[in-house]
Each structure stands twice: as C-alpha cells, then as structure tokens.
Amino acid sequence: MPSDAGDSSSLPSLALRGVWKHYRRGEEDIQAAADVSLELRAGSFTCILGPSGGGKSTLLHLMGGMDRPDEGEILVFGRDITHLKSDQLSAYRRSDVGFVFQSFHLLPTMTAAENVELPLAIAGVSLAKRREQARALLARVGLLDRAGHRPHQLSGGQAQRVAVARALAADPQIVLADEPTGNLDSQSGLEIMQLLKSIAHEDGRTVVVVTHNEEFIPFADRVVRIRDGRIHSDDVRTTVSAAASAGREAGAASSVRFGTLARMALSAIRRRLGRATLTGLGIAVGVAATVLLMGLGSGLESGVVAGLTSFGPLTSITVSPQRVSGTTSPFAPNTAAGPTTPITPRSLSKFAALPGARGAYASVMFLATLRAGGVNTMTSILNLPPVQLSSVSGLRPTLEAGAWPAGNGILVSSADAKALLGGKKPNPDKLIGRTISIQPEGMSGGVFGGGTGLVMPPRRLPFVKLRVTGIVTANGANYIPYTLAISWVRQVSGSTSVTYPGATVIGRTITDVGPLAARIGKMGYGTTTVKQILKSITSSFSAIEAGLGVIGGIALVVAGLMISVIMSMSVLERRREIGILRAVGARRKDIARLFLTEVGSIGVGGGLVGLGLGAAAGEVINAVISRHASFHGGIFHLPAWLLILGLVFGAAVSLIAGWIPAARAARLDPVTALHSE
Ligand code: ADP
Ligand code: MG
C-alpha cells in the first residue's frame, strides 16, 4: 500500500462526527445513532459492545457506506463519504471496506474460492488474477484445501473464515464485522477473533468488531459500549501505532466483465432450472408461433406468386373487349363493367403496331366435351400462342411429356387424360398418339378475359377428331394450336365478321408494359397485366402475414408477462444475494445487468428452441399438405430474416419484460436486502 503523505498517519482512518440516524417504525421514532463521534486509527482493533437493539449494526452500516446518516459526517482519511453519490458509495464499499456478517452471507451456489473472488469479480478484475488472489487469501485463513467446496460443505468456523478472506479480497483499509462469532462455537469464535486481530495488527487495517461476548474484550485495543444509539463508554486499552496505510482514492470503477455476468447468470439459471425452463418455454412458444405464422404467410405468398407467373410472362397484357372500372384481381370479380369495344382481327394488327409491342394474338377459352373410348369429360381448352410468338418464354404451358401439337393436334392435361383412360392407376402418357373426339360447346375470354361472358354457338357443333401429341399439367387446361383455335372462334360465333373474346399483347420489355396497357386502354379496351395481379396478390398476402404476425406477437406478449411475474418473484427471493453483492461493492447497474443477462440468456435460449419448434411444425405442415395436394415446395418457408427476427424477438421481449424486475432489484436498499429472508 502506498504511504505517500507524511501526514496520513496522523489522520484517523475513520472518523465519525456528530452522527445521527433515525428510523421510523409506525408512530415510533427510533434513534439508532444519536450524536455519535468516534475516531479510529489504522492498525487498531476495536470492539463495540452493547445490548441488542442498541444501534451497533446501524453504526457499522454507516461506517461501511451501506447506509447514510441523517446528520453528521463520516470521514475516511479525511474524506467525507456522507455525500457521495450512489455509485461512489459502491466504489467505497468495493475498495475501502470489507464486511463480515454473523450469518456468513456466502453465496450458496459458489465455491469457497468463488465467494472470495466475488469483490474482485465485481471490480472487473480478470479471472486469472482473481483466482490467484483468492488462493492466496484462502491459504492465509488456512482453507486452501477447501477452495472447491460449497458453503454447505463447510463448518460454521470454516464458512466464517471464507467470509473473512472475502472481506480482504479487495485489500480494504477498513474491515467491519457484525457479531462474527454469534453463530459459532467458542473455539471457532476464538479463532475468528484471533484472525481479525491479526488483520488489524499485522496488516495495519482498521478493524471494528461488534460483539456481545464480554470474553472477547481482552482481544480489543479499544472497547466502545453503545446503548440507545449513544456511546456509553469508550475505553482505549492499547494505543496502536501501526504504519498507517494512506487513504486511497477509490480506483476508477471498471465494470463487471461480461464473462463474469454470464457465469453468474448461468449459475443462477442452473439453480432454478425448472423455473428458467418454464420462462424459456413461454418465449419459445411465442417465437414458434411467430415464426410458424410468418413462415406460412411468406410461403403462401411465394407459392401463389410462383403459380401465377405460370399464367404468362411479365411482359404480357391480357386485353378484354370490356373496360373495367375499379381494381382487377382474381379475388374481386370484375362486376363494375364499362362499355364494350369488339376485338377484331384489325384490332389485333393495331395492337401489334403500337410502340413497344412485340406482337398480339387472340386468346380464347373454349368449353368442350372430350370423348375417348366411350368416356365423356367436360373441360376447358386454351389456345397456344401463334407460332411466331412461341419463342416468348412463359406464353406456353410446360410440356410434361410428348411434343407440341400442329394442325389437328391437342395437348391434354394429365387430369383429363386420367379421366379419359379410366381404370385404377391410369398413366397419362398412354394417351399420347391416340386420337380423341372434341365438341366445342362455347367460348369466353382467356384466363383474365372477363367481360363478354360465355358465347354459345347458334347450333350444336359436330365432334372433331384431334391427335394427342403431349401432356401438360398447368391450370388443368388442354391446349390447341393457334390457327385451330381461330377457326373454332368462327364456328362458335357463327358469323362472318369475327370478334374475339380476348387478346394477349406482348411488350418488348417489362418497361413497355405500362405505357402499352395505357394506350390499349385509351382505345376502349380493358387491360390486365401480370404485374398488376402480382401486386394485388402480394398486398393481400402482406395483410395476411401481418395478421398472422400479430397472433404470434400476442403469444410473445403473454410470454413477456409471464417472465415479468417470474422475474419479480425471483428478485424477491434473491434479495439477500442482492444485499451481499451490494455489500461487496456492486453498483445498482451491476445488479440490473446481472438480472438482465440472466433473463436475456433465457430469452435467447427460448428463442432458439422456439425457432426449432416453429420450423419443425412448418415442416410437418408441408409434409401433410404435400400428401394431399400438389403444392410445389410446400407452403411453409423459413427465410433467413425470419430466423434472425425470431431470435431478436425472443431476446427483446425477455429484456423488456425483465426490465422492471431488474430495475427493482437494483433499487433495493443494501441493508434491507441483506437482512431479508
Ligand atoms: P443492534 O445491532 O445493536 O442490535 P441495530 O443497529 O440493528 O441494533 O438497531 C438499532 C435500532 O434501530 C433497533 O431498535 C432497530 O429495531 C432499529 N432499526 C434498525 N434498522 C432499522 C430499519 N431499517 N427500520 C426500522 N428500524 C430499524
Ligand atoms: Mg445488530
């Protein structure tokens, strides 16, 4: 210890000047300290005696910065500690004072060595350094062989020696012991008194011991008797002139290391594993619900969008003869229809000649009866794009088997092929190459044609024979070549002036689509672009996703409330632990951080479990759905952002929920916390 100032030895290490402390108990006003003045020197061993309730503990708490006087000053090497801020007072306790208590107040989950290390851990000393110091101190109190034992494995005398070692950990100038022998047998009591005396005389520390045992008076250099908060007698028996240690400024408080916080949090979690599991489970359920619901929303969206793009490329515009007011969406049928402008072969040439247009063709959907081997099935038939546009990707359906039709050929959907073949497990490919009969019954616009409704032929048309060239699955529709479809339009409409129920216009690029659709609209037609549909569907699904997210959010809020209640209970139960930490110098924010680390770990752990549960449930849903429907890729998707969001949610909810209990723990008064059961 530095001994820099010559006058520091003349300064009392601890001086009380006119100190008063009142307590209110109901109507009663208790004077726990009444005008106490006392000067103590470094290297002195002082015993405070007096009846129970006389104010001995109060005095010790005031000296140790655990409490503040109502009036008067307490000077430590001339420095007044009564007006220090809370954090400064914590720093004083951490570096200048060591406390020893009647009931040892060791932390039960920690080993003897860890208990000794505690003040150093709180001061932010590195693990290696504090291990070394703890071993040295345990050696000094003769308990090196018990370093790994927990408090319940130690005798009372051993536990108190560990507590003395802890009091010395930060190398304090002042050691305060409140009835340290009260719970010990007389032999152990003597040993502790001997130890405390050596701490005063050999180390030159200021040691104050409260006792009610007159037997120990011979140990003391000075005996102060206290009654009703007042000094009753003050008997200086030996004047000590130990080499006083100079007053130290409390070292800049470095924060408790995160590793220390994490270790303490984990040990607390382990101690109450059941409760921590319950808390974590609450978070897990909340995160799982959020992840599952949002994963379903996101999967539904991408699944439907993927399905939709099969209707046509983003450069295509579906044109209907009827202008539509209001939005166009597969979820909202076009009821608000405006005036009609017929689509004629001439209009098709006009569309194709518009700036930005790559081509235009009629699109029709026929209602037809298919017949093969005596089996009839009613179905729909669409036209393929004309040959000159067949290179535009996305205009044609995907061929499952066979080849593209020409002349009197047809692509049959796998569903219709199965129906026509009959039997138990028909193989659609068996239909390829066979000729089937088809009777057109009526026609309407293409997939989003709308407007014109069904056009029926003036009289029933005969069956025509078509050769099956391939199988398709898209939309469940069948496809015929463009020229065949145009000849059918003539037959169904039964007139020489041909009008088409719908048309498709292809833009050169995606950016051409908007202006092109606007021009066609000005000509009096209704237009729908794939882009528009995607937009309306995407926004519908965003709404669904948000709704699902809210449900998951509610689950998380409930989990948060659970955490808050459980943490509040935990703070109540652990008041003594909080008191011990405060006594060895933990600041309020250290306590808050400890609790937040604990609840944060539970949150992250619960979040991880929740992610697992949510993903597993999503996979189960995917498996069940893929058994009953052909929904490619499943409807549950777990994008990376959702993984991160789930974890952040778990941690954030638990931190927010743990905030109030943690703050309450930090605000606890050290003395009250220490003496609560
Ligand atoms: P001792 O340690 O000598 O037994 P204390 O210092 O613990 O005495 O208590 C002195 C008096 O102050 C007692 O009457 C006690 O009941 C009272 N007292 C101590 N702490 C409080 C408190 N936090 N609130 C109310 N009264 C208290
Ligand atoms: Mg007491």
State pLDDT tens for residues 133-150: 999 999 999 999 999 999
Residue 52 CB–ligand 1 contact under 6 Å: yes
Residue range 558-564: mean pLDDT, rounded: 86
Which ligand has the nearest atom to the CA of 28?
A: 1
Q: How far out from the chain centre does Cα 399 lie?
A: 47
pTM for the structure as a whole = 0.68
Q: What angle do CA 446, 451, 455 make, to 5 degrees?
A: 70
Ligand 1 atom nearest to 51, measured from its CA: 3
Confidence check: pLDDT of 7 > 50: no
Q: Is 481 in the pocket of ligand 1 (CB under 6 A)?
A: no
Burial class (CB within 10 angstroms; exposed 0-12, middle 13-18, buried 19+) of 58 = buried
Across the range 600-616, mean pLDDT stands at 92
What is the full DSSP assignment across 145-177? Answer: GGTT--GGGS-HHHHHHHHHHHHHTT--SEEEE
Q: With contact defined as beta carbons under 8 Å apart, do 666 and 592 qualify? A: yes
Average pLDDT, the chain: 86
Closest ligand 1 atom, residue 226 Cα: 3
Residue of 57, 210, 671, 672 best suited for mutating to test ligand 1, as the one with most atoms within 8 Å of CB: 57
- Res. 126: pLDDT tops 50: yes
pLDDT of residue 556: 81
Higher pLDDT: 455 or 368? It is 368
**Predicted local distance difference test score (pLDDT) of residue 491:** 86
Q: What is the distance between the alpha carbons of residues 364 and 355, in angstroms, rounded to a whole number?
A: 25
In degrees to the nearest 10, what's the CA dihedral of 612, 616, 619, 624? -160
pLDDT tens track for 496-505: 678 888 899 9
Q: Using CA atoms, how far apart are residues 342 and 345, in angstroms rounded to an integer? A: 10
Above 80 in pLDDT, residue 267?
yes
> What pLDDT is stored for residue 256 in this prediction?
84
CB of 54 sitting under 6 A from ligand 1: yes
Q: Which of 4-8, 61-65, 623-627 has the highest mean pLDDT?
A: 61-65
In this prediction, what percent of the chain has a pLDDT beyond 70?
A: 88
**Ligand 2 centroid, distance to 212 Cα (angstroms):** 10
3-state secondary structure 244-278: CCCCCCCCCCCCCCHHHHHHHHHHHHHHCHHHHHH
| Residue 542 confidence (pLDDT) | 74
* pLDDT score, position 1: 42
Kindly state the average pLDDT of the residues 592-619. 92
Give the whole-angstrom CA distance, residue 435 versus residue 408: 10
Please name which ligand lies nearest the alpha carbon of 51: 1
Contacts of 274 (CB under 8 A, 6+ apart): none
Are 444 and 318 spatial neighbours (Cβ–Cβ below 8 Å)?
Answer: no
Confidence of residue 592 (pLDDT cuts 50, 70, 90): very high
User: With 0-12 CB in 10 A as exposed, 13-18 as middle and 19+ as buried, what is 393?
Assistant: exposed
* Residue predicted with more confidence, 460 or 437: 437
Residues 209-225 pLDDT 10s: 999 888 889 889 999 99
Distance 569 CA to ligand 2 centre (A): 28
Is the shortest distance between the CB of 610 and ligand 1 below 6 Å? no
Lowest mean pLDDT among 25-34, 251-260, 664-673: 251-260
Instruction: Please give the Cα distance from 555 to 545 (Å, whole number).
Output: 15
What confidence score (pLDDT) does residue 32 get? Answer: 95
pLDDT for residue 303: 64
Average pLDDT over residues 187-193: 94
CA–CA distance, 203 with 433 (Å, rounded to integer)? 107
Ligand 1 close to Cβ of residue 58 (< 6 A)? yes
Can you tell me the distance from the alpha carbon of 165 to that of 98, in angstroms, rounded to the nearest whole number?
9
Residue type present at position 95: S
User: Comparing 193-197, 337-341, 397-401, 486-490, which segment has the lowest mean pLDDT?
Assistant: 337-341
Q: What is the mean pLDDT of residues 512-532?
A: 87
Instruction: Determine the pLDDT at residue 10.
Output: 67
How many DSSP H helices and E strands does the chain contain?
Answer: 17, 23
Which stretch of 72-86, 171-185, 541-555 has the lowest confidence by average pLDDT?
541-555
**Quick one: pLDDT at residue 164?**
97
pLDDT for residue 455 is more than 90: no
C-beta 30 within 6 A of ligand 1? yes
**pLDDT tens, 384-423?**
999 989 888 778 888 888 999 988 999 999 888 888 888 6
Question: What burial class does residue 87 get, using C-beta atoms within 10 Å of its C-beta: 0-12 exposed, 13-18 middle, 19+ buried?
Answer: middle
Q: Which ligand sits nearest to residue 50's alpha carbon?
A: 1
- The mean-pLDDT minimum among 7-11, 56-60, 463-467, 532-536 falls in 7-11
Hey, what domains does the chain have and what are their CATH numbers? 8-254 (3.40.50.300), 268-306+537-674 (no CATH), 312-533 (no CATH)
Which of 472, 108, 385 is closest to 267 using CA atoms? 108
Q: What is the 3-state secondary structure (H, E, C) of 524-541?
A: CCEEEEHHHHHHHHHHHH
Q: Beta strand pairing status for 45-49 and 206-210?
A: parallel
**Among 96, 88, 175, 168, which residue's Cα sits nearest to residue 130?**
168
Ligand nearest 179 Cα, by number? 2
pLDDT (0 to 100) of residue 331:
46
- Report residue 311's pLDDT band, with 50, 70 and 90 as the boundaries: low
Ligand 2 centroid to residue 171 C-alpha, Å: 25
Q: How far is the CA of 83 from the centre of ligand 2 (A)?
A: 24
Residue pair 223/263 in contact (Cβ under 8 Å)? The answer is no
127-136, 331-340, 450-459, range with the lowest pLDDT: 331-340
pLDDT, position 394: 78
- Higher-scoring residue by pLDDT: 3, 338: 338
Q: What percent of the chain has pLDDT over 90?
A: 51
15-55: pLDDT as tens digits: 999 999 999 888 899 999 999 999 999 999 999 999 999 99
| Ligand 1 pocket test target in 19, 22, 23 with most atoms within 8 Å of CB | 23
Please tell me whether residue 236 adopts helix, strand or coil conformation: strand
Q: In the numeric block, which tokens belong to residue 458?
A: 């003036």
User: What is the helix, strand, coil percentage profile of the chain, to 5?
Assistant: 45, 20, 30
pLDDT band at 305 (very low <50, low <70, confident <90, very high): low
What is the 3-class SS of 28-94, one letter each residue? EEEEEEEEEEEEECCCCEEEEECCCCCCHHHHHHHHCCCCCCCEEEEEECCEECCCCCHHHHHHHHH
